[in-house]
Amino acid sequence: MGSSEENSALFPIFILTIMALPLVPYTMLKLCHAASKKAKSTHCQCSVCLRSGKYRKSIFKRISNFSTWSNLTLVLLWVVMVVLVYYVKHISHEIQVFEPFSILGLEPGASDSEIKKSYRRLSIQYHPDKNPDPEAHNYFVEFISKAYQALTDPIARENFEKYGHPDGRQGFQMGIALPQFLLNIDGASGGILLLGIVGVCILLPLIMAVIYLSSKVMDVFIKAAEYMEIPVRRSDGEPLQKLFMLVRSELNLDLKNIKQEQAKFWKQHPALVKTELLIQAQLTRESGALSPALLHDFRRMLELAPRLLEELMKMAIIPHNPQGHGWLRPAIGVVELSQSIVQAVPLSARKASGGSGEGIAPFLQLPHFSEAHYQEDRAKVRTFQDLQDMTMQERAELLTQVTGFSSAESLDVETALEMMPSITIDITCETEGEEGIQEGDIVTMHAWITLKRGSGMIGALPHAPYFPFHKDENFWLLLADSVSNDVWLSQKVNFTDEAAAITAASKAIQEAKEGSGASLKEISSAVKETVEKVKSGSRLVMGKFQAPAEGNYNLASYCLCDSWIGCDIKTSLKMKVLKRSRAGTRGGAVVEEGPSVEDGVEEEEEEIEEEYDDYESEYSEDEEDVKDVKSNGNGSSSDSSDAEEEDE
């Protein structure tokens, strides 16, 4: 019994230790991460972004930013830690060393008569015949009797002097620090306690995991329902009518039958009408015309938009045919819609105009720029790339002398351009351990995506003054066949979490080197080189797919950003798949990047890295379908009209 009580008394110390082991280092890591984020600002510093108030640290915003579930849980755990420390410090039942003089209430060296006198006095108080309390009986047997025996019996006194206990040498004891109620379990309460432990420790985490995983599927299923749940009030009628007149040109209505088109538009479900008009209010930057009630719904719509668009992207690239390919053009359309919503640029601005395949949309995302300013600059700047290729002095002269910007406005444009990412892709496809690719092989794609900015930062928030919420940059890497509209491989890439990228890239390179039989020194060198590449702004993307039937394939890798317009990039990749050889012989290297000459026919020269206007936009009026089909060479071709039907 005494041993179990001692173990029970140690239970708070046990819990305190278990909590402190992960809590202290996690708190330190959290504080260091918060200090580094505070020291380094990752958002755009132009005057337009600063005036938007999105990054202003008011007291309410600071409280809301702190009041996350992780932070509140951390604070609660520290409160529990403090309570446990206080409890352990002031615990009433302490583990004491056996001291017979102290138990009998005597000073060390007391005489035999004093010992007997004190024993008689305590016997009257605690003896079972005098005191029926079970605790008194236990105290009398375990402490008073043993203390008297240790001081009067010669053998017991000798044992006490040698070993500190009247019973002699005590064996080594081990116990578990559990509460007393867990050590005294009868049949009924034991079963209930067992069910409780199983429920809390096993079933509850399992149920939470099932709910979390199923919610991911439900997010896709109820994507439309989230906007349908936004209330449509009677008082919204007149403000929506005014908003309709402001954004009517962006609704793709037939101007020849405008009355019928308008009537058809308003006959839709009221929630659909409201959602479409609010989205157009964002794209046309007409949110200032909204009533207070509509403005609240408008912010709710924008808050939901990034997550819904990401789910739409997952739907677009989900395998839809036996080869496991997704759809390319719908995926591009989802990313373009995300870019337009974040930058508040109309979809009509993406239509090709003049010599620019991406339209004026990239210019409109810059601070102070309008369509009139673009028309003034067209003589010297035909594409957005032309503006980026200029030196800082040349841009300043253009913006101040031709466009008519002030020095401060010109500086804002320069600040936004420095925040804009520049992407390069280095991609290869190969069969591991073999020289070529045969049909049916498992092909491994290695892609290094490198990001550079004029500001020197790697992970940063986009310049988006008209989007009222924090929005991280996300990139999508797609390996696709643009002619057949198939996405072979896809992966989301993020440049903000450097530690996770280092861990993933190092593990992938290490496994690849170990599989190839490299030595420990070679593996260590490769991992070190990988870490340096990730720290300098590169991310490793790897994927596997099964080689298709024999033939030549003109593939392309797309790196699409969901926040910026005009920084997407396309890289051509030619892949030749050989016929399966029964003898297992392989041909030479067959994966090439950029221009190549095959079968004595010289193909047209093409650049390896093409800009955004090289692939068909969901919203642009590109008329290059015939040329794209011809450039496929011997590869399998599909009817472009069928691809368009799949897209729709």
At residue 342, the pLDDT reads 93
Residue by residue, what is the 3-state secondary structure of 572-594?
Answer: EEEEEEECCCCCCCCCCCCEEEC
Per-position DSSP letters for 503-520, written without gaps between them = HHHHHHHHHHHHHTT--H
How far apart, in whole angstroms, are the C-alpha atoms of residue 141 and residue 131? Answer: 13
Q: Which distant-in-sequence residues (6+ apart) come within 8 Å of 238 by Cβ?
A: none
As given in the structure block, the two tokens for residue 581 are 């050889």
As given in the structure block, the two tokens for residue 577 are 């798949």
Strands 486-493 and 609-610: unpaired
How far apart, in whole angstroms, are the C-alpha atoms of residue 409 and residue 32? Answer: 36
At residue 621, the pLDDT reads 46
Query: Residue 569: what are its φ and ψ, rounded to 5°?
Result: -140, 150
Q: Which distant-in-sequence residues (6+ apart) come within 8 Å of 230 by Cβ?
A: 271, 274, 275, 297, 300, 301
Checking 165-170 for CB contacts under 8 A at 24+ apart, the result is 165/98, 166/100
Q: Which distant-in-sequence residues (6+ apart) come within 8 Å of 593 by Cβ?
A: 427, 428, 571, 572, 573, 574, 608
**Structural domains of the chain, with CATH:** 1-92 (no CATH), 100-163 (1.10.287.110), 209-317 (1.10.3380), 421-577 (2.60.40.150)
Average pLDDT score over residue span 225-234: 83
Is residue 133 helix, strand or coil? coil
Model confidence over 238-288: pLDDT tens digits?
999 999 999 888 887 887 888 888 888 888 888 888 888 999 899 999 988
Say if residue 600's pLDDT is above 50: no
As given in the structure block, the two tokens for residue 447 are 């892609």
Model confidence over 465-507: pLDDT tens digits?
999 888 889 999 999 998 899 999 999 998 988 888 999 999 9
As given in the structure block, the two tokens for residue 507 are 């593990």
Average pLDDT score over residue span 627-644: 40
CA 557-614-390 angle, to 5 degrees, is: 105
At residue 231, the pLDDT reads 87
Asked if residue 545 lies in contact with residue 441, where contact means CB atoms within 8 angstroms, the answer is no
At residue 53, the pLDDT reads 64
Query: Residue 431: what are its φ and ψ, rounded to 5°?
Result: -95, 120
Asked if residue 253 lies in contact with residue 266, where contact means CB atoms within 8 angstroms, the answer is no
Share of the chain above pLDDT 70, in %: 71
How far apart, in whole angstroms, are the C-alpha atoms of residue 498 and residue 378? Answer: 40
Model confidence over 83-97: pLDDT tens digits?
888 887 766 545 555
**Widest CA span of the chain, in angstroms?**
122
Q: Which range, 52-56, 101-105, 345-349, 591-595, has the best average confidence (pLDDT)?
A: 345-349
Model confidence over 405-425: pLDDT tens digits?
899 999 999 999 999 999 999
As given in the structure block, the two tokens for residue 383 are 């594409």
At residue 629, the pLDDT reads 37
Query: Residue 309: what are its φ and ψ, rounded to 5°?
Result: -65, -35
Model confidence over 283-324: pLDDT tens digits?
999 988 899 999 999 999 899 888 888 888 888 898 888 888
How far apart, in whole angstroms, are the C-alpha atoms of residue 136 and residue 2? Answer: 14
As given in the structure block, the two tokens for residue 21 are 């082991």
How far apart, in whole angstroms, are the C-alpha atoms of residue 419 and residue 462? Answer: 7
